[in-house]
């Protein structure tokens, strides 16, 4: 991964400041703990919650993702399944959103942090525990 690519770092759910440290403690497949974020980046020390209640805004981002899923599933079912009954649309959307919930949660928070967190990429940021510093 190119370290300077914010898009790739966001997709990999990495720190917006150093693009190396993870945002979340556990795998998205760990359904009991998929939502646990680090308080700060384990690599550079960047605090992940700029202010109290910051991630409430992620609900709007998640809503946008869910609306996109409804539209995509609707088009796919309409054109590939030849406009099935309404219950098929509802069931397919519900199952899709339910299965994608861990990813929707994580990416909503990551988008919120990258776009509204006021954190910028600093390529010369080294690990918090490292003594290296470039002048």
Q: Average pLDDT in the 29-44 region?
A: 92
Give the separation between CA 57 and CA 89, rounded to whole angstroms: 28
The predicted model gives 4-13 an average pLDDT of 88
Which alpha helices (DSSP H) does the chain contain, by range?
6-11, 58-80, 86-116
pLDDT tens, position by position, 75-111: 999 999 999 999 999 999 999 999 999 999 999 999 9
pTM for this predicted structure: 0.82
Q: 60 CB contacts (<8 Å, ≥6 apart)?
A: none
* Better-scored residue on pLDDT, 125 or 108: 108
Quick one: pLDDT band at residue 127, thresholds 50, 70, 90?
low
| pLDDT at residue 126, as a whole number | 60
Predicted confidence band at 119 (pLDDT cuts at 50, 70, 90)? confident
- Does 35 score more than 70 pLDDT? yes
pLDDT tens digits along 44-75: 888 999 889 999 999 999 999 999 999 999 99
Q: Which of 2-16, 30-44, 116-130 has the highest mean pLDDT?
A: 30-44
Three-state SS string across 7-22, please?
A: HHHHHCCECCCCCCCE
């Amino acid at each position: 991964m190119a370290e300077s690519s914010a898009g790739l770092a966001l997709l990999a759910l990495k720190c917006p400041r150093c693009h190396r440290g993870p945002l979340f403690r556990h795998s998205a497949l760990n359904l009991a703990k998929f939502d646990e974020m680090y308080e700060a980046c384990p690599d550079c020390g960047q605090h992940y919650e700029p202010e109290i209640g910051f991630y409430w805004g992620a609900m709007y981002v998640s809503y946008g993702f869910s609306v996109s899923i409804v539209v995509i599933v609707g088009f796919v079912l309409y054109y590939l399944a030849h406009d099935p009954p309404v219950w098929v649309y509802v069931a397919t959307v519900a199952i899709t959103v339910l299965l994608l919930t861990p990813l929707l949660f994580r990416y909503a928070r990551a988008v919120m942090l990258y776009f509204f967190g006021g954190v910028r990429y600093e390529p010369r940021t080294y690990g918090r525990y490292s003594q290296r510093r470039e002048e």
